[in-house]
Amino acid sequence: MIELKDITLRRGAKVLLEGASVSIHAGEKVALVGRNGTGKSTLLALLSGALHEDRGSLTLPAGWRLAQVAQHMPETDAPATDFVISGDERLTHLREQLSKAEQSGDGMAIAQSHSDLQDAGAHDARARAEALILGLGFTPDQLQRPVNSFSGGWRMRLQLARALMAPSDLLLLDEPTNHLDLDALVWLEGWLARYAGTLIVISHDREFLDAVTRVTLHIEGGRLTRYGGNYSAFEELRAQQLTLQQAAFAKQQDKIAHLQKFIDRFKAKATKARQAQSRVKALERMERIAPVLAEAEFQFEFLEPANLPNPMLVISDGVFGYAAQDASNTPESEAPGAGSTVAAGQFDPEAAAPRVILRGVNRTVLAGQRIGILGANGQGKSTFVKTVARTLALQGGTLTEGKGLSIGYFAQQELDVLRPQDTPLEHMVRLARETGQAASESAREQQLRNFLGGFNFPGEMVAQPVGQFSGGEKARLVLAMIVWQRPNLLLLDEPTNHLDLNTREALAVALNEFEGTLMLVSHDRALLRSVCDEFWLVARGAVAPFDGDLEDYQRYLLDESRRRKDEQAAQAAAPTPRTGDPADTQRPSTALNPAEQRRQEAQRRQQQAERARPHQRALQQAEQRMQAIEHERTQLETRLSTAGLAPADLADAGRRLKALQDELAQLEEAWLTHASAIEALAAAPAPEQVHAGG
């Protein structure tokens, strides 16, 4: 058991924990939550031994093995698999012992080393390391690539794999999901669910915490409070506690006011002096209940777009990928302007053959659409978004932008658009000049300071270099710069990587109120669920609508994982044997003879069919109309893809597509209502069967 007793913990002059006590039992999976800056990472450093308490005591079981993700970027030419295996320090030490024994020719030492290596799992270490690497999104051909050949985010995934490789009794994870796509995130949840040791994790992904943890430790105001249950249970319990605390505080304030009123009135009267003095002592002895101090919640909103072109953009036979040169070095001046038609090869006609990732893409983006971009790692989600954002060149086909299109792009790496040496105010002044603001210099600066204040950048922060900011502060600055530009199309590529839970909730609220079009790539399932109305799937070199929700997508990821394993093994997957007819579990158990049972079952089915018939008719009508709408949508999208279409015809087709989309949404809702009614009727017993056998 881990036990903290009366812990005081400081960082510099700031007291992060004071008099904190808590116990964590072996095998518990714990979420460590609290606002940024409250001391979550510092507490992990205390548990790992990197820091020491200023007062109190920390007790960990003797002999416990600790694993955590190293925060430094690995710099090594070692192959990825070997780097991950080296995370098992005991295995590495035993291999060194074996090498020394072989060099000395000590037969007994060689035999002992082989025995120890067997106990340490050396026989399957490579297979275990490869499973970790592949689970975190790498491909088989990357297993032997040098670590230094990967970008920073991928090297941090290797650090995570290295920590998971190490045998441990206590695993400390600080924001492990920041560099993961949704497929790798789902895999990690499954791995941690099977982890047998004690887990303490910091994360701002509420669904990840709900799936992985069963205990929540909350840091607030220097106090550490333990709650039983996952993050959702913690939120509910805390809300109840705050409500009770506020009610108790109000009641106590009434009592204090009553006592004080008596004291003030009678303290000078000799006949009442004794009673007044007793009330003074009662006030002194009273343990005061603290008021509920509402923490300032971060809120913002996107400005109303100046216009809403419809369609926003039309992609015809699009080919997405990278030229032989690094596309990120393409000057901004060469990027296509709004309202233009971009032809393939416009950026660099002398470039070598491009690396194609997506081919034959035909999609139309309408005003008001809210699209979540799904796809397994490496399938081309970011490539697709970067090309739409004009950061990458279209490699083939055409991309026609609506007149007046204004794009707000949140890059996966905030430093793609931020200059570390510049301050937030300098970023905003430069942006204001680029957008052609006519205000005077002094008026504009004060306006920009006020604007930045609305994004939690107070006076002193607007003058600090951005390079000194945390990831969350940089992300908020990028959001502020996007809001300032009043875009009508938002392209957000993993915007929540460094945002805390409160800022994520503020972003979700702002996106739901945004009047333009949204295209979102994110592994934050709560955000995807709350703001997206439809999903597109980027997979196998194509972009297509995904017919399903996020639960369906997680099942799709599992199926794809199985398919890839089967392909790697070069053998077909064995069909899952059926253990019996599922309908068997629905047949009622009865003591009646078979003939009577069949008669009653037939009668029940007939009654259910009669009750379901109106819903079936409504379903059929809805499906027929939905098919007609899909047919008309296909024709309109084909028409929009036709080169040289007149602007008026383009606008008419866009308006008709929007009307069809709205009608389709209403039909889908009606379809779900009738389908749910049919399912409920099928699950309910017939009225006269409720008392059968009685």
Average pLDDT per 10 consecutive residues for the chain, totaling 694 residues: 87 81 90 83 86 86 88 84 88 83 82 81 85 87 88 86 91 87 86 92 89 90 86 79 67 73 67 64 63 57 86 90 56 33 39 72 90 86 90 88 88 72 86 66 73 83 82 83 89 85 85 90 89 90 89 81 67 47 40 59 70 80 84 78 72 80 80 76 53 37
Q: What is the pLDDT of residue 517?
A: 92
The DSSP string of 306-371 is S---SSSEEEEEEEEEE-SS-GGGS-GGGSPPTT-EEETT-S-TT----EEEEEEEEEEE-TT-EE
- Res 599: pLDDT: 64
CA geometry: angle 364, 375, 73, nearest 5 deg = 125
Handedness of CA 455, 479, 136, 534 (dihedral sign): positive
Order the strands of the 534-539 sheet from edge to edge.
Answer: 407-410, 489-493, 517-521, 370-374, 534-539, 542-546
So what's the pLDDT on residue 276? 65
CA atoms within a 13 Å half-sphere pointing along the CA-CB vector of 94: 19
In this structure, what token pair is assigned to residue 647? 């602007």
